[in-house]
Amino acid sequence: MADEVKELLQEYREGKISRREFIQKAAVLTGSLIAATSLLDSLVCPSAYAAQVDPNDAALSSGVVQFAGPAGTISGYQSKPKAAGKYPGIIVIHENRGLNDHIRDVARRLAKEGYVALAPDYLSREGGTEKVNPKGGGIANLREVAPPKVVGEDSDAAVAYLRTLPDIRGDRVGVVGFCWGGQMTFMVSTHVRGLKAAVVYYGRSPEPVELMEKIEAPVLAHYGEEDPGVNKTIPAAEEAMKKYNKSYTYKIYPGAKHAFNNDTNADRYHPEAAKEAWNRTLEFFKKQLQG
């Protein structure tokens, strides 16, 4: 039963089933609706973990920001170097769990490398991640709550906001995203004008593929070998990017699962793949944004 519960929990975290579906199926396994509810609450509460970059790092200025969007105020998390200068900007698109501590940490990692990193909360129109997803699990209906049109509009607003900052190089803005955010990164690169780099972490390719003709930025993508659902979209993307003469470089990491970069998810995290992918990401951003 333990393995079945574990698999069920992973499906919930990845947004494949809803909270109600999890409880219904777990109740069958545990024999009790109360036990199933308690199990969910105990297992998916956000757990503390050691951030790679301290939220109070003295070299960074990090915290919550708000900026204007087409449907109202958008909240986000921003991290940037304290040292005076002009820095490239990077939009960080969160996973299907919303804007959480892990994504905030990713933003700080980029800030340590000399970028102004902005992680918008793409659930802002619904009251924000804390309201929509207080338990921190995968959001099953995220594609309905934050459809591509919303993500595109709010990403436009995020880029426009970054370009108003005095310490930003407005002509050097990129985007990176993970899981659902990886798919949205690929999609955003077809929509937002003026992007100079896009990095996709295990995200599905845009549909229809004809959208890729609108991509301006070179795209770097990372995929896990054990992620067939996402990987089946690679050939069409590769063909379309060649057809439209776009730059598309990718690697499939042996033995890695979906979400292999997320060091808060022990079932998915693949240290070797994550390290190599991150180094390749930094090299890519340095070439495209810091030149």
Tokens at 284, concatenated: 């890519």
**What one-character DSSP code corresponds to residue 190?**
H
Question: Quick one: 35 and 74 in the same domain?
Answer: no
Neighbour-count burial for 90-113, b at 16+ CB within 10 Å, e otherwise:
bbbbbbbbbbbbbbbbbbbbbbbb
Tell whether 112 is covered by a domain: yes
Tokens at 225, concatenated: 């070998």
Say whether 94 is catalytic. Answer: no
Question: Quick one: 235 and 155 in the same domain?
Answer: yes
Question: Quick one: 149 and 253 in the same domain?
Answer: yes
Other CB atoms within a 10 A radius of the CB of residue 171 amount to: 10
User: What is the rounded distance in angstroms from the CA atom of residue 268 to the CA atom of residue 273?
Assistant: 11
What's the predicted TM-score (pTM) here? Answer: 0.84
Q: Active-site residue among 154, 227, 263, 270?
A: 227
Question: Quick one: 130 and 206 in the same domain?
Answer: yes
Say whether 105 is catalytic. Answer: no
Question: Quick one: 37 and 159 in the same domain?
Answer: no
Tell whether 245 is covered by a domain: yes
Question: Quick one: 33 and 132 in the same domain?
Answer: no
Tell whether 55 is covered by a domain: no
Range of the domain at 112: 60-289
Question: Quick one: 201 and 228 in the same domain?
Answer: yes
Residue 257, CA atoms < 13 Å, CB-side half-sphere: 11
Question: Quick one: 16 and 68 in the same domain?
Answer: no
Note whether 241 and 211 are within 8 A (CB). no
Per-residue pLDDT in tens (0 to 9) along the chain, 291 residues: 567 777 776 666 555 666 667 777 877 877 766 665 665 555 544 444 568 999 999 999 999 999 999 999 999 999 999 999 999 999 999 999 999 999 999 999 999 999 999 999 999 999 999 999 988 888 988 988 899 999 999 999 999 999 999 999 999 999 999 999 999 999 999 999 999 999 999 999 999 999 999 999 999 999 999 999 999 999 999 999 999 999 999 999 999 999 999 999 888 999 999 999 999 999 999 999 997
Q: Give the N- to C-terminal CA distance of the chain in Å, as an integer.
A: 54
Q: Active-site residue among 179, 191, 222, 270?
A: 179
Tell whether 80 is covered by a domain: yes
Question: How far does Cα 172 stand from its chain's mean position?
Answer: 20
Residue with tokens 């207080």: 134
Note whether 129 and 103 are within 8 A (CB). no
Say whether 45 is catalytic. Answer: no
Question: How far does Cα 56 stand from its chain's mean position?
Answer: 22
Q: Quick check: helix, strand or coil at residue 194?
A: coil
**Cis status, amide bond into 208, omega within 30 of 0:** yes
Question: Quick one: 66 and 191 in the same domain?
Answer: yes
- Between the alpha carbon of residue 157 and those of residues 177, 194, 256, the distances in Å are 17, 13, 34
Query: Who contacts 189 (Cβ-Cβ below 8 Å, separation ≥6)?
Result: 175, 195, 198, 215, 216, 217, 219
Residue 219, CA atoms < 13 Å, CB-side half-sphere: 34
Tell whether 49 is covered by a domain: no
Q: Quick check: helix, strand or coil at residue 87?
A: strand
* φ and ψ of 128, to 5 deg: 100, 165
Q: What's the one-letter identity of residue 266?
A: A
Tell whether 50 is covered by a domain: no
Q: Active-site residue among 94, 102, 191, 258?
A: 258
Question: Quick one: 110 and 21 in the same domain?
Answer: no
Tell whether 52 is covered by a domain: no
Domain count, the chain: 2
- The strand ranges marked E within the chain are 60-69, 72-81, 87-93, 116-120, 168-178, 197-201, 219-226, 248-257
Tokens at 171, concatenated: 């002509």
Q: What is the CATH number of the domain that holds 165?
A: 3.40.50.1820
Question: Quick one: 102 and 211 in the same domain?
Answer: yes
Question: Quick one: 69 and 132 in the same domain?
Answer: yes
Tell whether 53 is covered by a domain: no
